[in-house]
Structure 1
């Protein structure tokens, strides 16, 4: 009997556990290590931040559904991985041995890298449901006492879609409250241009998003490095192509929500051969770590180089379909190893994304996610908002029911009218 341990129970880790249980059958053991027993649907956090969702609406009790699927849950959380010993140490001192491991931890949020930055200081976040609930309280204060708003993503960030989403969702919430006319808004981003998204754009995301910002009376600063955040302003350097400071800005703020840079979690950071200097997991084309071949990684914790050089560091996002592609390839490859065969599944890393703007939105498809691409498409309209709502309900239903059906693949085929979006490539047996 093989024991496969998944570390992390977010989007990637949860569906990985489901797919492993489906693929491996009852003769093998599947365990999940997570800090806490609750799954939160992170794409809904921008809605939580303005009060359109509460915690209960986007939360799933994993203890019940995992027990139903015969998946062991260790909710103590991970303290340190010891890959040379095939062992993970938990925060309560317990250790779990494994035959194969899937690291799906997501990131640690690097708020501490900028003075005055983060929910414990002068800015808000929608990266975690707890932060989104704090943001909701700050939004209530903003509506009661309107003032300047800053939305965006700082240097080194690798997730930009939620920043655009929250800018337009907050705009809608402020319009509904009849105070938008007293709230000047600025979008501050490390991207070299609006709509870059860490992907050098997809289709016409540059034109679409610039147009949306103009129509919603939101100014923007690109190539932005946030140097410091104070209670009433952000100190921002706009960086030129040669790395020099092109212009310095003091951006007034009564409310700021900016996405942070990510790094690997403490349990894996600094393990030679496993991670890069930021703590992200190194993987080969099969999602397998070259130094520790029993270890696979999926999702945001995976090390992916940027798509090109930019004046301010810009990371690559790991979108939902890309993560699902990693999951399916990883599960296939672990199954092959257990059977004494050679891994043969390579994820395609295609991207399918719905960005909700409160009453409209933008959708894009990139095949593959990192350019050059075979498909490079984007579109906008009210249908995206409706599709995002429907997708949220569909996804949470699947998590609560413990089904391993591919979520983003179904989204691509139904919501976007795509006949086939290949998730993995299977190499022929040698």
Structure 2
């Protein structure tokens, strides 16, 4: 009997554990290491930040689902991975040995890289449920005392969808509160153009998002490098296409929410052969690390090169469909290795995204995620908001029930009618 451990219990780690149990049966042991026993649905955090959701509505205690699936949950959390010893040092001083490991930690939020950045300083966040609840308090203050707002993503960020979502959700919430006319809004982003998304655009995301921003009276600054955050302003260096400084602008702001750059979590950072300089896990096309071949990795924590050179550093997002395909491929590959075969499953790394705007939204599909593509599609409408609500309910049910059925492939194949997408591909045996 082999012991397979999943490090992390977020969107990728939770379904990774479920899919491993499905693929490995009861012949092998599956464990999960997580900080706490509660799963939180991060895509709903922008709604939490304006009071449309509360903590209880988007969280699931994993204990029951893990017991049901015969998965051992270790809620102590990891202090340090020791891959040469096949061992995880836990935060309570104990250790957990493994035969195979899947790293699905998600990212560390690099707020410390910019002066005044983060919930402990001058900005708000929707990256974590605790941050979103703190942001809700600041939102209530904004409604009582309206003032200028800055939303966006800083240099090195790789997750742009939630920034656009929150800008439009906040705009809708301010309209509902009847104070929108007293809140100037500016979107500040490191992207070279609106709608780049770290993907060099998908379909007409540039035109759709620029039009939506004009319609909602949201100004924008692109190619932006934030120098520092202060209590009443954001100091932004605007960069030319050749990387030179165009201007340094002080953007007034009494409420700021900008997404940070990501890096690998401390438990796995700076391990030679395992991570790149930012601490992201190095994997091949089978999600397998080549220095430690009993280690696989999925999700936001893996290393992916950027789409190309941009004036300000822009990372590539790891979207839900992409993560699901990584998970399915990894589960199949570990099952093959345990049977004495070589890994042969590959995630397709397609992007399917529903960007909710509170009363509408934009959806896009990219196959593959980076251009040139076979599918390059985007659309907008009120149906996107309804679909995002459906996604939330479906995924939370999936986590509670311990099932691993892929959602994004179903969305692409059935709802969007795009029949060219498949969750996993295989090499010739």
TM range (shorter): over 0.9
Structure 2 equivalent of residue 328 of structure 1: 328
Alpha-carbon distance between aligned partners in 2 of 1:117 and 1:309, rounded to the nearest angstrom = 25
Structure 2 equivalent of residue 270 of structure 1: 270
Structure 2 equivalent of residue 70 of structure 1: 70
Is the contact between residue 286 and residue 346 of structure 1 (CA under 8 Å) also seen in structure 2?
yes
TM-score of the pair, normalised by structure 1: 0.99
Is the contact between residue 42 and residue 127 of structure 1 (CA under 8 Å) also seen in structure 2?
yes
Structure 1 equivalent of residue 397 of structure 2: 397
Alpha-carbon distance between aligned partners in 2 of 1:212 and 1:162, rounded to the nearest angstrom = 15
Structure 1 equivalent of residue 82 of structure 2: 82
Query: What SS does the corresponding residue of 1:158 show, helix, strand or coil?
Result: coil
Alpha-carbon distance between aligned partners in 2 of 1:95 and 1:224, rounded to the nearest angstrom = 44
**1:248-280 deviations in Å (ceiling 9; x for gaps):** 110000100000000000001100000000000
Q: How does 1:11-410 map to 2 (within 5 A)?
A: 11-410=11-410
Alpha-carbon distance between aligned partners in 1 of 2:389 and 2:153, rounded to the nearest angstrom = 24
**1:163-220 deviations in Å (ceiling 9; x for gaps):** 0000000000000000000000000000000000000000000000000000000000
Displacement of 1:241: 1.6
Alpha-carbon distance between aligned partners in 1 of 2:239 and 2:365, rounded to the nearest angstrom = 30
Structure 1 equivalent of residue 10 of structure 2: 10
Alpha-carbon distance between aligned partners in 2 of 1:141 and 1:412, rounded to the nearest angstrom = 40
**1:38-97 deviations in Å (ceiling 9; x for gaps):** 101111111011000001111000011111111000000011101111111101111111
Alpha-carbon distance between aligned partners in 2 of 1:2 and 1:415, rounded to the nearest angstrom = 39
Alpha-carbon distance between aligned partners in 1 of 2:20 and 2:28, rounded to the nearest angstrom = 9
Displacement of 1:420: 5.1
Query: What SS does the corresponding residue of 2:168 show, helix, strand or coil?
Result: helix
Alpha-carbon distance between aligned partners in 2 of 1:421 and 1:71, rounded to the nearest angstrom = 31
Query: What SS does the corresponding residue of 1:388 show, helix, strand or coil?
Result: helix
Displacement of 1:413: 2.5
Query: What SS does the corresponding residue of 1:287 show, helix, strand or coil?
Result: coil
**1:297-343 deviations in Å (ceiling 9; x for gaps):** 10000000000000100000000000001001100100000000010
Alpha-carbon distance between aligned partners in 2 of 1:245 and 1:340, rounded to the nearest angstrom = 56
Alpha-carbon distance between aligned partners in 2 of 1:20 and 1:8, rounded to the nearest angstrom = 14
Displacement of 1:419: 3.3
Alpha-carbon distance between aligned partners in 1 of 2:420 and 2:338, rounded to the nearest angstrom = 30
Query: What SS does the corresponding residue of 1:89 show, helix, strand or coil?
Result: strand
Alpha-carbon distance between aligned partners in 1 of 2:412 and 2:125, rounded to the nearest angstrom = 28
Is the contact between residue 354 and residue 384 of structure 1 (CA under 8 Å) also seen in structure 2?
yes
TM-score of the pair, normalised by structure 2: 0.99
Query: What SS does the corresponding residue of 2:227 show, helix, strand or coil?
Result: strand
**1:222-268 deviations in Å (ceiling 9; x for gaps):** 00000001100011000112221101110000100000000000001
Alpha-carbon distance between aligned partners in 1 of 2:156 and 2:210, rounded to the nearest angstrom = 22
Structure 2: give runs of 5+ residues left out of the alignment. Answer: none
Alpha-carbon distance between aligned partners in 2 of 1:411 and 1:396, rounded to the nearest angstrom = 16
Query: What SS does the corresponding residue of 1:168 show, helix, strand or coil?
Result: helix
Is the contact between residue 387 and residue 415 of structure 1 (CA under 8 Å) also seen in structure 2?
no
Alpha-carbon distance between aligned partners in 2 of 1:411 and 1:97, rounded to the nearest angstrom = 38
9-18 vs 404-413, greater mean Cα deviation: 404-413
88-97 vs 413-422, greater mean Cα deviation: 413-422
Alpha-carbon distance between aligned partners in 1 of 2:350 and 2:314, rounded to the nearest angstrom = 19
Query: What SS does the corresponding residue of 1:131 show, helix, strand or coil?
Result: helix
Structure 1: give runs of 5+ residues left out of the alignment. Answer: none
Alpha-carbon distance between aligned partners in 2 of 1:383 and 1:326, rounded to the nearest angstrom = 28
Query: What SS does the corresponding residue of 2:366 show, helix, strand or coil?
Result: strand
Alpha-carbon distance between aligned partners in 1 of 2:312 and 2:22, rounded to the nearest angstrom = 43
Displacement of 1:411: 2.0
Alpha-carbon distance between aligned partners in 2 of 1:17 and 1:71, rounded to the nearest angstrom = 7
Alpha-carbon distance between aligned partners in 2 of 1:413 and 1:54, rounded to the nearest angstrom = 32
